[in-house]
Amino acid sequence: MTTIGFIGSGKIGGTLARLAVEAGHDVVLSNSRSPQSLHDLVTGLGPRARAATPDQAATDGEIVVVAIPIRAYRQVPTEPLRDKIVIDTLNYDPARQGSVPEIEAGDVPPHELLQTHLPESHVVKAFSTVFFGHLATLGRPVGAADRSCLPIAGDASAAKRRVAALIDSLGYDTYDVGALAESRRFAPGTRAQLAHLDPVGMFTAPGRPVTAADLVKLLDEAQ
Ligand SMILES: NC(=O)c1ccc[n+]([C@@H]2O[C@H](COP(=O)([O-])OP(=O)(O)OC[C@H]3O[C@@H](n4cnc5c(N)ncnc54)[C@H](OP(=O)(O)O)[C@@H]3O)[C@@H](O)[C@H]2O)c1
């Protein structure tokens, strides 16, 4: 079992924390305000969950999930994340979350922004393609015909293997798309992004399972 730190404990962080606790992992949650403000969430998650500051969550997590609005990326602590595996869930949506000048200037692609901020961490892009409501419900046991597959990407193979094992424990297969730069193939605007979305009901409808074969077809469209 793994201790997972969370920088950001909202829709995606909170959903992942619940899946992790249900799978038997320990979670350390943080947000932009205070550990006290996470009291209700942590109480609801039970004894495997505790609240902390972002620095403490980064220090205590064996794997650390970053799930904040991307515009706040500079506030992610660097020192406690040195040499650690960091899961990057971030998508760039300037209209809803605010713009990031260095992305707008073309200095860095959005999917590589967190790794540039954390050059000594092993960043693995994951969970950025699935709406939190669907993430909460689409997990299945190993071998289930309707088990979904999530894309991951990163520059460190060992980190990706560790993240794949964690995601497996949460009820999902993974497909390794390659280096972090290749995560452009499942970035916003691609078919692989929000692949679970039913075009009729969209965010109000149940998520659709996406198998590895489905996912590879969608990723190939963004070659
Ligand atoms: N929602 C989805 O379905 C979904 C799916 C895939 C990827 N994503 C990506 O995941 C990220 C988070 O989205 P979300 O929907 O979960 O957002 P959200 O519900 O608004 O939650 C954001 C969380 O980040 C915290 N936060 C903000 N600034 C912070 C900082 N400087 N330090 C520590 N914590 C901070 C917030 O804490 P406070 O409440 O205290 O401010 C809150 O806990 C975004 O980049 C989004 O693109 C979202």
Across the range 142-159, mean pLDDT stands at 97
Across the range 126-146, mean pLDDT stands at 97
User: What confidence score (pLDDT) does residue 222 get?
Assistant: 83
Tell me how far apart the alpha carbons of residues 219 and 149 are, in angstroms, rounded to a whole number: 12
pLDDT digits over 13-62, tens only? 999 999 999 999 999 999 999 999 999 999 999 999 999 999 999 999 99
Tokens representing residue 183 in the block: 């995560």
Across the range 86-96, mean pLDDT stands at 95
The residue behind tokens 């009820």 is: 171
Pocket test of ligand 1: the residue of 6, 7, 11, 65 to mutate, having most ligand atoms within 8 Å of its CB, is 11
Please answer whether residues 32 and 13 qualify as being in contact, where contact means their C-beta atoms are separated by less than 8 angstroms: no
State in Å: Cα 161 to ligand 1 middle.
Answer: 25
| Residue 22 dihedral angles phi and psi, to the nearest 5° | -65, -30
Please answer whether residues 1 and 26 qualify as being in contact, where contact means their C-beta atoms are separated by less than 8 angstroms: yes
Pocket test of ligand 1: the residue of 31, 65, 76, 196 to mutate, having most ligand atoms within 8 Å of its CB, is 31
- With 80 as the cut, is the pLDDT of residue 210 above it? yes
Q: What is the mean pLDDT of the chain?
A: 97
With a 6 Å cutoff on the Cβ, whether 54 touches ligand 1 is yes
* Angle, vertex CA 3, rays to CA 54 and CA 25, nearest 5: 125
User: What confidence score (pLDDT) does residue 42 get?
Assistant: 98
Q: Which ligand 1 atom is nearest residue 54's CA?
A: 33
- With 80 as the cut, is the pLDDT of residue 223 above it? no
Q: What is the largest CA-CA distance in the chain?
A: 46
What is the band of 97 on the pLDDT scale with cuts at 50, 70, 90?
Answer: confident
With a 6 Å cutoff on the Cβ, whether 171 touches ligand 1 is no
With a 6 Å cutoff on the Cβ, whether 193 touches ligand 1 is no
With a 6 Å cutoff on the Cβ, whether 151 touches ligand 1 is no
User: What confidence score (pLDDT) does residue 64 get?
Assistant: 98
With a 6 Å cutoff on the Cβ, whether 70 touches ligand 1 is yes
Tell me how far apart the alpha carbons of residues 178 and 176 are, in angstroms, rounded to a whole number: 6
What is the band of 167 on the pLDDT scale with cuts at 50, 70, 90?
Answer: very high
User: What confidence score (pLDDT) does residue 199 get?
Assistant: 87
For ligand 1, atom 37, the nearest C-alpha belongs to 31
0.85 exceeded by the pTM? yes
